[in-house]
Structure 1
């Protein structure tokens, strides 16, 4: 059992927040390992195509593999306090880029050597030593988010916000301690500590820190404690009602992330230009072009030049995905 000692200051500073960075890392980990989410299924071709970008691949190199559990905390910075939650991801990306070199080397070199069963790739080590890793990791997260999760985030955030509302009501009604003990069967409140059922025993003093409770959707079913960064204490737990009302056969964001790309694919039974698609679906040509580029990288659309125009059409793979979603 892992025991995390807290004090009144920690309890008084307990808050709830989404973590777009942790959701991104969970989705990236599944994509890199060819895994499947228990509700949303296969991350899909868009996520795998994004892995071809060198900065996204660098992020994946720092994620645990083959049963390892440690993920460098700098990849999932403690969420800030933006009330509107519009800038949470931007804040987290900025925190990654601002990671001190000493902290980066401790997490990337020392902690991976302790917790991983594989060595750190030599190329990854060289990038870390160069001082350029922070900027590249920040860029990789921004790129993976745009390619795979940006359009589907409102659906995920809705699930997270419902869980936050439920926990907030529980705190107001029953108090912080009882609410902490109800987060997950592996988590208990011991009066002066949060305990987590683990395969090893240990105790960590987290007194005086903020405690951020971060409900997760794509991180399901994992419960994760983040305490390696001084002053930070984040407890990730599965949000309630993940998949409620969802037809699991459809795959949802697992097949094509977001309504815009799904709409484009549905309209690309016939070959169409960017301008025509923009008129038909009511988005700007720039927005349509961006999404078509992502779909093309994922081999879900083809493109051919016809005079002054480039025409796009969905591939047989995309047609199969749409058909599966309708069944």
Structure 2
């Protein structure tokens, strides 16, 4: 796993066939991994609580191997710890099993890369190897992989599992949004919209990364939304052709849309339920399509009720490029605050 510390250029070649195999995945394991990475450096204000829970759990449960692997200031995490999701959504148990049963040769080579570094990877860069890591290495690669999986399972239960339903719902909503962008604007437009670091040109995804890297011959690209961080995490592909890993990008999932504020009951009586709901939800400009999606209504129904509200002076409409934005007026604000004012709504 390549961590986003530098600003070099990474290139991932994607021909037309590879673009056709771009896919999304939900991964409990990768979400747990990014929570571990929050311990490095100063976590953003909204993530400090997660970083603190991770650090406290590592100490309280004496998860020393995880602390050694993720707490050191290196630019690489052994790839066997972050196996590629093989389906849209894997169970945590399934992902942990793949770690515990990783090939010993793979574990040995990647641990050597972590300790000594290699092409495009600094590793520990001559820093002393943490004692928990040395102890695990002495017991052999298979035991080391099993211990990593066991410690991850404990951390998962404490830190991420209680919040997984909400995180998963946010990621699902993000993926649905990206799928709509593909349908409307195409695959390349969706890719460059994942993060400001991403560009497209010459059949290549170009992005800032920790090292200058060229990934050739990729047959697909795996996209996994992040639940905690705001930067890109790249797993650039196999350094050894025997393992045939494909590149993976973890990108920040979109925030959960703000929930519509309910209109007071008296507004429902005055305006009718549908108009009151729509009026309460246009405190910020929204299109007919957005309102239809947020409330499970047809566009024609939303358009009809917005027309009534507009003629009544309760919403304004402005054109922005090809779309019309509706927003409630000060008159509507007063009505929602005090429906007893009984402001009439003109329908003709």
TM-score by length of 1: 0.65
2:38 matched to 1:27? no
Deviations 1:113-156 (A, max 9, x none): 21233243244134134130111111111110001111111111
Deviations 1:196-250 (A, max 9, x none): 1246433121422x311011022323342342352322111111126967xxxxx
| CA pair 53-34 structure 1, distance change in 2 beyond 3 A | farther
Residue 84 of structure 2 is matched in structure 1 by 78
Q: Which has the higher contact order (CA 8 A, sep 6+)?
A: 1
Distance 2:194 2:101 in 1: 32
Tell me if the contact between 2:174 and 2:225 (Cα under 8 Å) persists in the aligned partners. Answer: yes
Secondary structure at the aligned position of 1:51 is classed as helix
Distance 1:42 1:34 in 2: 14
Tell me if the contact between 2:65 and 2:132 (Cα under 8 Å) persists in the aligned partners. Answer: no
Distance 1:105 1:151 in 2: 34
Distance 1:198 1:226 in 2: 10
Secondary structure at the aligned position of 1:150 is classed as helix
Work out which of the residue numbers 3, 9, 20 in structure 1 matches 2:11.
Answer: 3
| CA pair 64-173 structure 1, distance change in 2 beyond 3 A | farther
Work out which of the residue numbers 101, 104, 110 in structure 2 matches 1:107.
Answer: 110
Select between 139-148 and 68-77 the one with higher mean Cα deviation. 68-77
2:178 matched to 1:167? yes
Distance 2:218 2:58 in 1: 39
Distance 1:173 1:106 in 2: 44
Matched ranges for 1:138-287 at <5 A: 138-198=149-209, 200-208=211-219, 210-228=220-238, 230-241=244-255
Q: What 5-or-longer segments of structure 1 have no aligned partner? A: 246-327
Distance 2:47 2:210 in 1: 28
Larger Rg: 2
Distance 2:237 2:22 in 1: 14
Work out which of the residue numbers 131, 147, 156 in structure 2 matches 1:136.
Answer: 147
Deviations 1:73-122 (A, max 9, x none): 2222212315xx3x432221111112111111111112442123324324
Distance 1:55 1:7 in 2: 46
TM-score by length of 2: 0.62
Secondary structure at the aligned position of 2:48 is classed as coil
| CA pair 233-58 structure 1, distance change in 2 beyond 3 A | same
Deviation at 1:48, TM superposition (A): 3.4
Residue 124 of structure 1 is matched in structure 2 by 133
| CA pair 231-4 structure 1, distance change in 2 beyond 3 A | same
